[in-house]
Amino acid sequence: MTRKILTLALPAGLKNLLDSIMLLVDLFMVSPLGVDALAAVGLGLQFTMLLGVVMVIYSVGGSILIARYRGSGRLYRANAVLYMSLLLALGLSLVMTLLLYPFAGVLYEWMYATPNVAAQGVAYWGVILLFLPLLFIDTLFFSYFSSMGNTLTPLIIKILATFANVVLNYALIFGHWGAPQMGVAGAAWATVIALAITLLLYALFFWRQKGYFFVPLWRANLFRALLQLGVPAMVERAIGSLSFMFFVAIIASYSTYALAAYQLGLRIEGMAYMIGIGFSVASTTLVGHALGAKTVDVAYRLAIHTAKLAALLMGLEGMILLFFPEWLLGFFTTEAVVIEEGALYLRMVGISQIPLAMMFVLSASLRTFGAVKLALYISLGSLWIFRIIPAYIVSYVGGEIVWVYVAMTVETFIKGYLFYYFFRRRFKGA
Contacts of 153 by beta carbon, 8 Å cutoff, 6+ apart:
145, 205, 209
Same domain, yes or no: 211 and 236: no
pLDDT of residue 20 exceeding 50, the answer is yes
Q: Tens digit of pLDDT for each residue in 149-168?
A: 999 999 999 999 999 999 99
DSSP letters spanning 75-122:
HHHHHHHHHHHHHHHHHHHHHHHHHHGGGHHHHHHHTT--HHHHHHHH
Same domain, yes or no: 197 and 241: no
* pLDDT average, residue stretch 66-84: 91
Confidence of residue 45 (pLDDT cuts 50, 70, 90): confident
Query: Rounded to whole angstroms, how far apart are CA atoms 147 and 78?
Result: 10
Same domain, yes or no: 211 and 248: no
Domain presence at residue 213: yes
Same domain, yes or no: 170 and 301: no
Q: What does the pLDDT read at residue 252?
A: 80
Same domain, yes or no: 405 and 300: yes
Domain presence at residue 227: no
Q: Percentage of the chain with pLDDT > 90? A: 49
Same domain, yes or no: 307 and 269: yes
Give the 3-state secondary structure of residue 293.
coil
Q: Which residue has the higher pLDDT, 348 or 106?
A: 348
Confidence of residue 360 (pLDDT cuts 50, 70, 90): very high
Q: Tens digit of pLDDT for each residue in 261-299?
A: 877 787 788 777 788 889 999 999 999 999 998 898 899
pLDDT of residue 91 exceeding 60, the answer is yes
pLDDT of residue 429 exceeding 50, the answer is no
Q: What does the pLDDT read at residue 108?
A: 81
Confidence of residue 99 (pLDDT cuts 50, 70, 90): very high
Same domain, yes or no: 274 and 126: no
pLDDT of residue 100 exceeding 80, the answer is yes
pLDDT of residue 226 exceeding 70, the answer is yes
Instruction: Quickly count: other Cβ atoms within 10 Å of residue 231's Cβ.
Output: 16
Domain presence at residue 226: no
Q: Which of 218, 241, 269 finishes a domain?
A: 218
Average pLDDT of the chain?
88
Q: Which residue has the higher pLDDT, 88 or 269?
A: 88
Domain presence at residue 224: no
Q: Which of 194, 218, 242 finishes a domain?
A: 218
* pLDDT average, residue stretch 113-133: 87
Confidence of residue 430 (pLDDT cuts 50, 70, 90): very low
Q: What does the pLDDT read at residue 385?
A: 93
Q: What does the pLDDT read at residue 335?
A: 77
Same domain, yes or no: 303 and 422: yes
CA nearest 205: which of 134, 157, 247? 157
Same domain, yes or no: 249 and 186: no
Domain presence at residue 43: yes
Q: What does the pLDDT read at residue 416?
A: 94
Domain presence at residue 223: no
Burial 285-322, CB ≥16 within 10 A → b, else e? bbbbbbbbeeeeebbbebbbbbbbbbbebbeebbebbe
From the DSSP assignment, how many helices (H) and strands (E) are in the chain? 18, 0
Query: Rounded to whole angstroms, how far apart are CA atoms 280 and 234?
Result: 16
Query: Rounded to whole angstroms, how far apart are CA atoms 339 and 361?
Result: 31
* pLDDT average, residue stretch 104-132: 84
Q: Which residue has the higher pLDDT, 108 or 139?
A: 139
Query: Rounded to whole angstroms, how far apart are CA atoms 312 and 317?
Result: 9
pLDDT of residue 421 exceeding 50, the answer is yes
Helices (H), ranges, 253-295 = 256-292
Domain presence at residue 138: yes
Q: Which of 191, 218, 245 finishes a domain?
A: 218
Q: Tens digit of pLDDT for each residue in 326-358?
A: 898 887 777 788 888 889 999 999 999 999 999
Confidence of residue 111 (pLDDT cuts 50, 70, 90): low
Same domain, yes or no: 17 and 88: yes
DSSP letters spanning 128-181:
HHHTHHHHHHHHHHHHHHHHTT--HHHHHHHHHHHHHHHHHHHHHHHTGGG---
Q: What does the pLDDT read at residue 428?
A: 60
Number of domains in the chain: 2
Question: What's the predicted TM-score (pTM) here?
Answer: 0.89
Query: Rounded to whole angstroms, how far apart are CA atoms 22 and 9?
Result: 20
Rg (CA), the chain: 22
Query: Rounded to whole angstroms, how far apart are CA atoms 298 and 5?
Result: 13
Q: Tens digit of pLDDT for each residue in 128-144?
A: 999 999 999 999 999 99
Same domain, yes or no: 183 and 287: no
Q: What does the pLDDT read at residue 355?
A: 94
What is the domain range of residue 86? Answer: 1-218
3-state helix vs strand vs coil in the chain, percent to 5: 85, 0, 15
Same domain, yes or no: 274 and 415: yes
Q: What does the pLDDT read at residue 259?
A: 76
* pLDDT average, residue stretch 5-15: 88
Confidence of residue 23 (pLDDT cuts 50, 70, 90): confident
Confidence of residue 239 (pLDDT cuts 50, 70, 90): confident
Domain presence at residue 271: yes
Tell me 388's DSSP state.
I
